[in-house]
Each structure stands twice: as C-alpha cells, then as structure tokens.
C-alpha cells in the first residue's frame, strides 16, 4: 500500500500546520500498535480530523481508515495538506473515498454522529475507534457510542481522547455543561455495546507527551464476536 505523506501547500492566510498525530502524544501511537497486534485490527475510525495529522498516521498503520470533520475550514486544510489541493470539484467537496493512488480510506466533511451512523453498520473485521470530535457546543460522544451499539458492533477498542483519568491534575480533560468526560458518564453506553464483557485502561502522566491530555481505552473481553453484520463498506 502506498504511504501517505505530508504535502506542503501555500495556505495563504491559514495559520495551521499539520503537526503530529494524537496531539503529539507518541504513547498513544504505541498503544494503538499494541492493540493492533493483540486483536488483529484492520479498521481505524476517527471522529474529528482537524487538519489531518492523526489521519495520516492511522492510514500508514492500518488497512482501512475512515475519518470525518464537521468544520469545513479544517476539512479543506486537511485536503490541502494531505492531497496538495483545496477542493475544486464535487469529489472533494464533501468527501474523499479511495483515491486511485491510495488504499482504502474515507474522509468526509460531515457531523460525526451522521458519519458513525453511516460507517458502523458497514464495517467488517476488527476495528479501533478514536473518538475526538468534541470541540463545538454540542457534545456528540454519547450519540457516537449509540451508533456503535445500534450497529451491533463490539469493537476491539474504543479510545476516547480528552478523558478524565486517575490524574486529572496532570492530564487535561473536557467538560461540557458541567459534565466531565468520565467513566460514570459513559458506562451505560459502553454496557449497551459490550454487556459486562469489557475492561478499560487510562494513560498515565509518565506515559504521556505533547498536549498531556487524558485518554481511556475501552477493550472488548471474553472472546466476543466483533460484528454481527457482513456488508462491505466499499460496495
């Protein structure tokens, strides 16, 4: 599979640079590769492309990669940084699907909940989700998890960024309308996906770099099947 590389382009007044994946946290990269090996993961699904740094890393390390970005400006910048162009036709206007020179991928300018509702029922094979689409006034996380449950998926791993860990004084986390991103809040949604057969782990301060944000890894346990459907995402 051809590797995807940063393609610099004159962005005019845009102050954005590609940066590094996972908000410059190299330990998250190591964790994703560990889970890939353990579960045989082939699909990586990201919500919140931003300008594409994590997407490029995921694409170069997993067979199939799907990402979405609701903010058109970020989507356009990601297109320019990754593909060397701003959208000029319908193909780039709302989504990029499997460019001929690349492997299996999808990038869409769409709300993350709508994206999850579209993607989840079509996935086959083991998957890891990186849920990071929470910067606007509405927090989509519970609806994203609901989409996984309604598709009868039991992903190998669900990773949620900006999460409250055992070290909230060191590792940053998000709060929406007074509600912290914590385990008590999401537990009913996770139970709906896995039943009782799941476990979790947090990152720790000594294993965090870059922006120093908390992350939770929710893992399927007890040999559960990873999906109940058999449709193909690329049909």
Using the predicted structure, report yes or no on whether residue 92 has a pLDDT greater than 60: no
Mean per-residue pLDDT over the chain, rounded: 84
Sign of the Cα pseudo-torsion (19, 21, 22, 24, in order): negative
User: Under a CB-based contact definition with an 8 Å cutoff, are residues 78 and 6 in contact?
Assistant: no
Helix or strand or coil: residue 44? strand
Summarize pLDDT for 112-152 with one digit per residue, the tens. Answer: 999 999 999 999 999 999 999 976 678 999 999 999 999 99
Summarize pLDDT for 161-199 with one digit per residue, the tens. Answer: 999 999 999 999 999 989 999 999 999 999 999 999 999
Q: Which residues contact 151 (CB under 8 A, 6 or more apart)?
A: 120, 121, 123, 227, 229
**Exposure string for 40-71, b = 16+ CB within 10 A, e = fewer:** ebbbbbbbbbbbbbbbbbbbeebebbbbbbbe
Summarize pLDDT for 19-45 with one digit per residue, the tens. Answer: 789 999 999 999 999 999 999 999 999
Q: Cα angle at 159 between 227 and 169, to 5 degrees? A: 155
Domains, the chain, with CATH or none: 21-220 (3.40.50.150)
Report which of 192, 13, 56 is spatially closest to residue 218, judged by C-alpha positions. Answer: 192
pLDDT of 80 reads 78
β-bridge mates for residue 218, sequence order: 158, 200
Q: Quote the distance between the C-alpha of residue 46 and its chain's center.
A: 2
- Which pLDDT band, with edges at 50, 70 and 90, does 232 fall under? very low
- The more confident residue out of 103 and 74 is 74
Q: Cα angle at 144 between 170 and 38, to 5 degrees? A: 70
pLDDT of 89 reads 46
The residue whose two tokens read 């297109």 is: 79
Q: Centre a 10 Å sphere on the Cβ of residue 198 and count the other Cβ atoms it contains.
A: 18
Q: Quote the distance between the C-alpha of residue 189 and its chain's center.
A: 17
For 206, counting Cβ atoms within 10 Å of its Cβ (0-12 exposed, 13-18 middle, 19+ buried), the class is: exposed
What percent of the chain is predicted at pLDDT more than 90?
63
pTM value is: 0.86
């Amino acid at each position: 599979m051809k590797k995807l590389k940063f393609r610099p382009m004159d962005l005019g007044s845009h102050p954005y640079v590609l940066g590094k994946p996972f908000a410059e946290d190299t330990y998250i990269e190591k964790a994703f590769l560990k889970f890939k090996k353990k579960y045989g993961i082939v699909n990586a699904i990201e919500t919140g492309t931003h300008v594409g740094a994590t997407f490029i890393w995921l694409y170069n390390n997993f067979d199939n990669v799907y990402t979405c970005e609701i903010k058109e400006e970020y989507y356009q910048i990601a297109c320019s940084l990754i593909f060397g162009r701003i959208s000029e036709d319908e193909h780039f206007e709302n989504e990029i699907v499997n460019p001929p020179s690349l492997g299996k991928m999808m990038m869409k300018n769409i709300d993350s909940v709508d994206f999850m509702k579209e993607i989840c029922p079509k996935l086959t094979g083991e998957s890891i989700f990186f849920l990071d689409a929470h910067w606007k006034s509405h927090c989509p996380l519970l609806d994203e998890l609901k989409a996984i449950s309604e598709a009868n998926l039991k992903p190998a791993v669900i990773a949620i960024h900006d999460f409250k860990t055992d070290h909230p004084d060191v590792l940053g986390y998000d709060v929406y309308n007074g509600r912290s991103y914590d385990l008590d809040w999401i537990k009913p949604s996770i139970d709906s996906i896995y039943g009782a057969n799941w476990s979790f782990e947090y990152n720790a301060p000594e294993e965090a770099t870059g922006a120093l944000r908390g992350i939770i890894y929710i893992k399927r346990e007890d040999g559960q099947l990873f999906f109940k459907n058999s449709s193909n995402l690329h049909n």
